[in-house]
Chains A and B, each alone.
Chain A
Amino acid sequence: MKLIVAIIQPHKLEEVKGALEAVNVNLMTVSNVLGQGRQKGYTEVYRGMREAGGLLRKVRLDIAVSEDFVEKTIQAIVKGAHTGETGDGKIFVLDLQECVRIGTGERGPAAIG
């Protein structure tokens, strides 16, 4: 089992969701996050004071998948989120030790899908 964490542009969320649903990945947790990458933040001006380094709005997806879904999920996220410009985001893949479905008590790959 893997936990896939993706940081994407907020406006690409719907496309990523569509791409994931097309490969039958339907379970995910989505959160609003702030961050900066190579493009750095942006500068804001308040009453003439410049404040640099503001963080950019991003969307984070947390998706737990069994091994045979890992590549499909990565491909779907890339397909939905890619524009080719800086700021498209990143995908992290982590080993997932355990998964428990609270409703039934199922564990492991059975609890993931």
Chain B
Amino acid sequence: MNAGDTAWVLMSTVLVFVMTPGLAFFYGGLVRRKNVLSILMQCFIIMCAISLQWVLYGYSLAFGPDTGWGIIGGLDWAGLKGVGGAPNGDYAATIPHLVFMIFQAMFAIITPALIIGAFAERVKFSSFLVLTILWATLVYDPLAHWVWSTGGWMRKLGALDFAGGIVVHVSSGISALVMALLLGKRIGYASEPFRPHNLPFTVLGGALLWFGWFGFNAGSALAANELAANAFVTTNTATAAAGFAWALIEWRIHGAPTVLGTVTGAVAGLVAITPACGFVSPLSSIVIGAAASAICYMAIAVVKAKLGYDDSLDAFGVHGVGGAWGTIATGLLAEKAVNPAGADGLFFGGVHQFLVQIALVGVTVLYAAVVTFVLFKVIDALLGMKVDKKSEILGLDLSQQCESAYTVVD
């Protein structure tokens, strides 16, 4: 046991925790004023629901002893049975097992919250809640098991995903796309303007995400060591490159750099560096970040507009696309010189790792998309996923939460 490591991972847990409220403001500012509370509420209830799910059985499914094929953990650790102050050498030998568990809990919380961006402004709250808990159980927990648990099949295959490119971003991003496609467009989409109602909220939220992401990535070293330092520096550097790149792209194409674009770029950079941060050098992270902005910009401003799906807040465009790019980029730019426990990517002679990363993205996309599709269809048939037209026009704050964010009269 090491007090420094324990303190750092506890601190990182707090940092990852604040990302979900940060995300709530990032997304909340982007919707129209009649829907801002619905976003904040969806994020907040996820903090409550998944905290419980994780302690009761989610942690055990994800990280518990494997049931045989590397697909899912057993219920041995359900209710945190046997998960206590003593370290678990398989995951983190120098910190209490409980600290590892609660650090991972924060990842389990933010992942389903990312999907909110795709169905914002039209989803029924009750159905959203059911979907979220089932999605966490059937998509997040297995994926975390595959990639991060000692028995996971992707881990055995040599998957490199330092902090969650596959588990967090590809999984939530592709699920977001499926949700957006199945749920259909918002009333008036593409025919009337949808202006963000409070961009300062979005900038505040984006800044909180950047802030919290230091814990997400550098904390994933699970120790206060040189690996954490590398992850910290690559995270900051990639994000800076990405924010800067998006601003330049907009400046060139639209004649002005927007703050929304710059913040969006920064988030795309954070997403992309997530799987790579502990395996690549700071200089490589500049490439990953800048390219993330170019690729996500294409996905959002060109591809989405062409295909016409309504991914309201670009959960797929930023997290799905950025996460896939980051995971593949890890297969390009990882080097053993940075992390001996990693591998060499394509640019350092490692063809195998590059192919592994691509294959794993493919499997993740397929698995998450299929399960999300089935969950959507079942819940839609039983409860209905979309609010009725009247409620959508009235706004979800009033129709789903029975309250309004801003008063007009004192």
Contact = CB atoms under 8 A, between A and B. Distances in A.
Contacts of A48: 250, 253-254, 261, 297, 300-302, 305
B254 A47 contact: no
Interface stretch (A23-31, A50-58, A78-86, A97-105): A50-58
B20 interface: no
A45 B196 contact: no
B314 interface: yes
**Of B194, B301, B314, most A-chain CB atoms within 10 Å:** B301
B401 interface: no
A44 B250 CA distance: 12
Interface in A12-56: 44-51, 53-54
A4 B273 CA distance: 60
Interface string B269-291: 00000000000000000000000
A47 B263 CA distance: 10
A70 to B, nearest CB: 32
B193 A45 contact: no
A46 B254 contact: no
A47 B314 contact: yes
A47 B256 CA distance: 12
B258 interface: yes
B264 interface: yes
A50 B196 contact: no
B195 A45 contact: no
Interface in A49-81: 49-51, 53-54
The main secondary structure of chain A at its interface with chain B is: strand
A45 B256 contact: yes
Nearest to A45: B254
Contacts of A50: 254
Interface string B218-229: 000000000000
A100 B300 CA distance: 57
B123 interface: no
Contacts of B250: 45, 48
Interface residues of B, number: 18
Contacts of B193: 44, 51, 53-54
Contacts of B174: none
B260 interface: yes
A45 B249 CA distance: 13
A47 B297 CA distance: 8
Contacts of A44: 193, 195
Nearest to A52: B193
A84 to B, nearest CB: 27
Nearest to B30: A46
B195 A51 contact: yes
B195 A46 contact: yes
A6 to B, nearest CB: 23
B193 to A, nearest CB: 4
Nearest to B297: A48
A109 B250 CA distance: 58
B260 A46 contact: yes
Contacts of B253: 48
A59 to B, nearest CB: 18
A45 to B, nearest CB: 5
Nearest to B318: A47
B297 A46 contact: no
B195 A47 contact: no
A47 B261 CA distance: 6
**Of A48, A49, A51, most B-chain CB atoms within 10 Å:** A48
A44 B205 CA distance: 21
A45 B246 CA distance: 13
A47 B305 contact: no
A28 to B, nearest CB: 21
21 contacts: A44-B193, A44-B195, A45-B250, A45-B261, A46-B195, A47-B260, A47-B264, A47-B301, A48-B250, A48-B253, A48-B261, A48-B297, A48-B301, A48-B305, A49-B301, A49-B305, A50-B254, A51-B194, A53-B193, A54-B193, A54-B195
The 7 closest A-B pairs by CB, nearest first: A48-B301, A51-B193, A45-B254, A47-B300, A45-B258, A46-B260, A47-B264
Given A47-B300, A51-B193, 10 more contacts: A44-B195, A45-B254, A45-B261, A46-B195, A47-B260, A47-B314, A48-B253, A49-B305, A53-B193, A54-B195
